[in-house]
Amino acid sequence: MNYIVPQSELKIVGTSPVRPDGVDKVTGRATFGADMALAGMIWGKVKRSPHAHARIVSIDTSKAMALAGVKAVVTAADFPEIPNEEAFVGEGPMNFRDLSRNCMARDKALYEGHAVAAVAASTQAIAEQAVDLIEVTYEVLPHVIDVEAAMAPDAPVLHPDMFTAGIEPKPTRPSNIAKRVSFAKGDVDAGFAEAEVIVEGRYTTQPVHQAYIEPHACVAQVATDGQAQIYSSTQGQFMVRAYSAKILGWEIANLRSFPLEIGGGFGGKTVVYLEPLALKLAQKSGRPVKMMMTREDVFRASGPTSGAVIEVKIGAKRDGAIVAAREVLKYQAGAFAGSPIGPGCMCGLAMYDIPNVDVVGYDVVSNRPKVAAYRAPGAPITSFAVESAMDDLARKLAIDPLALREMNGVRDGSKTHYGVTHKDIGFLPVLEAARNHPHWKAPLKPGQGRGVACGFWFNIGGESSGAVHVNEDGSVSVVSGNPDIGGSRASMAMMAAEVLGIPVEQVRPIVGDTASIGFSFLTGGSRVTFATGMAVTQAAERVVEQLKTRAAQIWEIPAEAVEWKDGKAWPAGLNAGAFEPLSLAQIALKAGRTGGPISSEVSLNAQGAGAGFGCHICDVEVDAETGQVKILRYTAVQDVGKAIHRAYVEGQIQGGAAQGIGWALNEEYIYDTKGRMENAGFLDYRVPVASDLPLIEAVIVEVPNPRHPFGVRGVGEVPIVPPMAAVANAIRSATGLRMPDLPMSPPKICAALDAAAGAKAA
Amino acid sequence: MSKHHVTTTINGEAVEFLCETQETLLDVLRNTLNLTGSKEGCASGDCGACSVIADGTLVCSCLMLGVEAEGRSITTVEGIADGEKLHPIQQKFLEHAALQCGFCTPGFIVAAKALLDANPNPTEEEARYWLAGNLCRCTGYDKIIRAVMDAAAELRGEARAA
Amino acid sequence: MPKVVFSGSETRRFTGGRTELEVTATTFRQLVRELDARFPGLGEQVEEGMAVAIDGVIYQDAYGAPLAEGAEIVLIPKIGGG
């Protein structure tokens, strides 16, 4: 069925009820990863490489094992060698051999913080001592950190068996460039020849960490018959089960994975780090093992997203029509191949209808932690460059920057450079909402500047399961297979309640473990409300059909003569007979007599995700003395298709924008000459705090996605795409400075102001 | 090495525990007393997820030793509600959707309680600066600040009524 | 007949630079086999690493996705997300 109807016809969807897991979370009762404990549990710790690149000559664990209280030690020798085998994970194809070697270094440590061994001991303190007693002999190798340095022909090679894919003929020398990808449309040289105004620039972005406040944590337990349980904070309990089983060489059915409450992920918890180690330690010690990362571990050994170098060139006619664009993107993958270069190549220019485009991307390894997915993987990086260039183009053409985007912005039927023709999209309505927002016309004071930038993300569907059970008293349980990271339990309950016609409080949503619900792909990619929501909606519809059948049995009339309305079964018309309506509770009471329990589980692979577009407006003021950029006002407009829980949709938009502001202004990885991270903590890796930010106004646009029962597109990814350029364009407007390098931190702003003043004086 | 015997008050109740010299109050709360509402986000006093109130002062329990709790009165997130009745700050966090993942929420609630105990009528800017020691990565702070300001208003209203 | 568009290097390196092809397949599953027969290796590449847009609607891992007469089919890298 389709519920894409005016809001006035919906009772629950589109409102903002209190979340079902809320009370537990405001009282401290919710069980997150590190809150889990099992009887007899011991503690695991990881020994990490102090070197950015080193051959592991030997590992001597004898002293650690001899320490009283130490129950088990593991190294790569405890895990099977895994052949090259690709599978699709959070943000792209992932090689299980690489995943295994990222969890536990084999032969070589490829970045500072790379796990080389792990111990389990009766207390945390003993485990820490034991880590120090493990003796690793390294042969330190030359390392490389920066992306362009890693691409140089004489760079230290991380993987002697890596030859750049996507180049013909196949290269004969190994390289740190894992892959070259390209997209082309039209004739880009002819396009530039035709252009009357051209802008170009070279932009750099820093890797940024997802910086979820909860460090990775898990508890593992293994019985002597091989049956195991893993409890962890993750974006996918099925992912944890599959990857852990693969890395350990175990059968999937022997491993049951329980998702605990997750303290933020943003893509960073779409892979495993600790889980296979904890399981192996639990198996060897015969005891449940808890492992937690420290914040330092999180920075040095998990996440982040790619840093990059992006060259962009855009050409237009004098009337503003863009005729050509060229982009070269070099994305850091970290120590193993797999940066989000594919979406990077697609997303930046996906927003504009340009006849001639050429995009080339490189996926580059270096001695940094392997990147993990981070909100709209790849898109924010390319969009920082493209949207900065669009701002320059608008200035050069003396056209209002929103007007330039309105003129060239994609609409239904626009063909992108990666071939896909846009369909059912809402970019122009987003631009219109931005233009009509009071912020766009609000006056600025001297010294203040305003920037605007846009963002695109595909959104995805994928495999999801949802179950709806009618309990004996007429209350309803909804089970889904996706960890609730930002309020999705509420959305699931709301969609089920809307279909069932009952108050949302009558529906209790839970996230099931891998044995309680059908397979579900990760929580990520803005897919859960879309795909899992589709499964839950269909399950609820099937339950309604059952309820009608049961009522028909009670009334002894045909099922077709029953209709379901307002949470009750009604005779469909006068001919059906004169019966008092039956409530869900009344029907549930007779479930045993009418055929047994009333429930339905739907597993599906949701297709046809609806792309999302956003437009952000940002006002700033720059302190010329300190170089500090103050965000004065921020408005984020986004087409979400349909907001199921309005307040949480706003929250996703606000949170994504705040992360983007951090990316723009402060966040970066600082390495010393030995390739060691110097700012692995929240004091020096500075995420935005409450006093850094103004009120971020979220403006919801709803152009329904016709392929979802309620019109949902997804919301969480798009809002992190525009902020870097929106802030940069605001700084440009306030100071005249085009800041091409992130973060636009006080030292960089001061240097740019000084350089500009020097140029003026000279 | 023998453990220290510590006598303290936690959430209004007399509590005794044994701890090692180097154990933080956060370790004791979480691992010895099973009060896992206080969270470890950084163990360096930067994120505020472990915020507790010690004798009226807001502190990061990861920066305080367990032995330092001796003779003091500690309030954790578990002690904010009055039995089953949520504190207005907790209620407003729910109503304003001021949490997404909920991991930083205990720290924010304790910090907000300390703020409103010290300053029942803060400006938005004062609230933002007071809460600048608590990191939230999900919300962008907007709804948290609204919840705190609304709770402050409600608490002042109650004070007037009383 | 449905028309397949090869917009990126990840497919064009199998097609020898060819950018379009008319196919007889009526489902995505048939398409994979037809492409592999025509350009050895492309089928596996599509199956493992590509999503397909059929007249602008993106499908991932969907053997049964129907390819209508005259449909425009575009192969793009699979999309994940955070």
pLDDT tens sequence across A714-732: 999 999 999 999 999 999 9
What is the C-alpha separation between A474 and A584, in angstroms, rounded?
A: 5
Strands A70-74 and A598-606, sheet pairing: unpaired
Q: In what order do the strands lie in the sheet with A197-205?
A: A177-185, A356-365, A322-334, A308-316, A197-205
Four-residue CA torsion sign, A679, A680, A685, A689: negative
What is the C-alpha separation between A261 and A23, in angstroms, rounded?
A: 13
* Omega of the bond leading into A259 within 30 degrees of 0 (cis): no
Out of A44-53, A83-92, A377-386, B115-124, pick the least confident: A83-92
Query: Helix axis angle, C28-38 relative to C42-49, nearest 10°?
Result: 140
Our separate counts of H helices and E strands in chain A read 20, 28
- Averaged pLDDT score across all residues of chain B: 96
Chain B residues whose CB is inside 8 A of the A211 CB are 137
What is the C-alpha separation between A639 and A515, in angstroms, rounded?
A: 36
Q: Report the run of H or E that residue A31 belongs to, with start and end.
A: none
Position with higher pLDDT, C46 vs B154:
B154
Class of domain A7-26+461-606: alpha beta
Chain B: nearest CA to A47, how far in angstroms? 19
pLDDT higher than 80, residue A85: no
Average pLDDT value for residue range B129-153: 98
Collect all residues with Cβ–Cβ distance below 8 Å to A603 and sequence separation of at least 6: A463, A464, A465, A518, A519, A535
Nearest one of B133, B3, B21 to B68, comparing CA atoms: B21
Q: Which two tokens stand for residue A714?
A: 């997804």
What is the C-alpha separation between B26 and A69, in angstroms, rounded?
A: 23
pLDDT at A577: 87
pLDDT range class, residue B160, cuts 50, 70, 90: very low
Of all residues in chain B, what percent carry a pLDDT higher than 70?
96
Among C9, C15, C47, C72, the residue to mutate for chain A (most A Cβ within 10 A): C9
Average pLDDT value for residue range A14-36: 96
Each residue of A219-233: b (16+ CB within 10 Å) or e?
bbbbeeeeebbbbbb
Chain B residues whose CB is inside 8 A of the A264 CB are 100-101, 103, 137-138
**Bridge partners, A605 (sequence order):** A463
pLDDT at A91: 47
Q: What are phi and psi of A698, to 5 degrees?
A: -100, 125
**Bridge partners, A507 (sequence order):** A476
pLDDT higher than 60, residue A617: yes
CB-based contact A608 C77, cutoff 8 Å: no
Exposed, middle or buried: residue A672 (CB in 10 Å: 0-12, 13-18, 19+)?
A: exposed
**Residue C55 falls in which region: left (phi positive, over 0), alpha (psi -120 to 50) or beta:** left
Instruction: For B24-35, write each residue's pLDDT tens digit.
Output: 999 999 999 999
pLDDT at A581: 97
Question: What secondary structure does DSSP assign to chain C, as a single string?
Answer: --EEE--BHHHHHHHTT--EEE---SBHHHHHHHHHHHSTTHHHHHHHHEEEEETTEEESS-TT-B--TT-EEEEEE-----
Q: Which two tokens stand for residue A60?
A: 């001597």
Q: What are phi and psi of A423, to 5 degrees?
A: -145, 135
**A657 vs B: CB within 8 A:** yes
CA atoms within 13 A on the CB side of A532: 38
Strands A322-334 and A356-365, sheet pairing: parallel
- Averaged pLDDT score across all residues of chain A: 96
What is the C-alpha separation between A721 and A524, in angstroms, rounded?
A: 15
Nearest to B101 among A124, A485, A645 (CB): A485
Q: Name subunits touching A (3+ CB pairs < 8 A).
A: B, C
Collect all residues with Cβ–Cβ distance below 8 Å to A505 and sequence separation of at least 6: A17
What is the C-alpha separation between A327 and A408, in angstroms, rounded?
A: 17
The CATH number assigned to the domain holding C35 equals 3.10.20.30
Collect all residues with Cβ–Cβ distance below 8 Å to A701 and sequence separation of at least 6: A426, A429, A430, A433, A637, A638, A639, A640
Chain A: nearest CA to C82, how far in angstroms? 3
**Bridge partners, C27 (sequence order):** C66
Domain count, chain C: 1
Q: Are B143 and B98 in contact (CB under 8 A)?
A: yes
Q: Are A237 and B108 in contact (CB under 8 A)?
A: no
Q: Do chains B and C touch (3 or more CB pairs under 8 A)?
A: no
Average pLDDT value for residue range A325-344: 97
pLDDT higher than 90, residue A705: yes
Q: Where are the alpha helices (DSSP H) in A49-95?
A: 62-66
Chain B: nearest CA to A359, how far in angstroms? 33
CB-based contact C56 A424, cutoff 8 Å: yes
Q: Indicate the residue type of A500.
A: L
CB-based contact A214 B41, cutoff 8 Å: yes
Instruction: Tell me how far the alpha carbon of residue A611 is from its chain's centroid.
Output: 15
Is C49 contained in some domain? yes
pLDDT higher than 90, residue A429: yes
Chain B residues whose CB is inside 8 A of the A650 CB are 97, 143
Collect all residues with Cβ–Cβ distance below 8 Å to C31 and sequence separation of at least 6: C2, C4, C23, C25, C46, C52, C67, C73
pLDDT at A88: 57
Q: Report the run of H or E that residue A220 belongs to, with start and end.
A: strand A217-222
Domains of chain B, start order: 4-79 (3.10.20.30), 88-161 (1.10.150.120)
Chain A: nearest CA to B32, how far in angstroms? 12
- Structural domain boundaries, residue C41: 3-77
Q: Report the run of H or E that residue A99 belongs to, with start and end.
A: helix A96-103
Nearest one of A1, A357, A364 to A185, comparing CA atoms: A357
**B140 vs A: CB within 8 A:** yes
Instruction: For A399-427, write each residue's pLDDT tens digit.
Output: 999 999 999 999 999 999 999 999 999 99
Question: What secondary structure does DSSP assign to A3-27, as a single string?
Answer: ----GGG-SSTTB-PPPTTHHHHHH
Average pLDDT value for residue range A275-299: 98
pLDDT at A83: 85
pLDDT at A86: 67
Nearest one of A358, A404, A408 to A190, comparing CA atoms: A358
Chain A residues whose CB is inside 8 A of the C28 CB are none
Question: What secondary structure does DSSP assign to A662-728, as a single string?
Answer: HHHHT----B-TTS-BS--STTTS----GGG---EEEEEE----TTSTT-----SSGGGSSHHHHHH
Chain A residues whose CB is inside 8 A of the C6 CB are 419
Q: Which of residues 194-233 of A touch B (CB under 8 A)?
A: 210-215
Q: Indicate the residue type of B140.
A: G
Nearest to A214 among B30, B39, B145 (CB): B39
Is C82 contained in some domain? no
Instruction: For A232-261, write each residue's pLDDT tens digit.
Output: 999 999 999 999 999 999 999 999 999 999
What is the C-alpha separation between A315 and A690, in angstroms, rounded?
A: 40
**B76 vs A: CB within 8 A:** yes
pLDDT at A87: 64
Q: Which two tokens stand for residue C71?
A: 């449909």
pLDDT at A492: 98
Chain A residues whose CB is inside 8 A of the B63 CB are none
* Cα distances (Å, whole numbers) of residue A575 to A146, A151, A583: 77, 78, 21
Chain B: nearest CA to A466, how far in angstroms? 21
* Sites in chain C below the pLDDT cut of 70: none
Which DSSP symbol is given to A610? Answer: P
- By C-alpha distance, the chain B residue nearest A24 is B102
What is the C-alpha separation between A24 and B101, in angstroms, rounded?
A: 12
Q: Which of residues 72-111 of A touch C (CB under 8 A)?
A: 86, 88-93
Chain C residues whose CB is inside 8 A of the A89 CB are 80
Q: Which of residues 22-51 of A touch B (CB under 8 A)?
A: 22-32, 34-35, 37
Instruction: For A166-181, write each residue's pLDDT tens digit.
Output: 998 889 999 999 999 9
Chain A: nearest CA to B38, how far in angstroms? 7
pLDDT at B1: 64
Q: Do chains C and A touch (3 or more CB pairs under 8 A)?
A: yes
Chain A: nearest CA to C50, how far in angstroms? 10
pLDDT range class, residue B162, cuts 50, 70, 90: very low
* Cα distances (Å, whole numbers) of residue C61 to A88, A424, A462: 11, 22, 8
Q: Which of residues 442-501 of A touch B (CB under 8 A)?
A: 485-487
Instruction: For A441-480, write each residue's pLDDT tens digit.
Output: 999 999 999 999 999 999 999 999 999 999 999 999 999 9
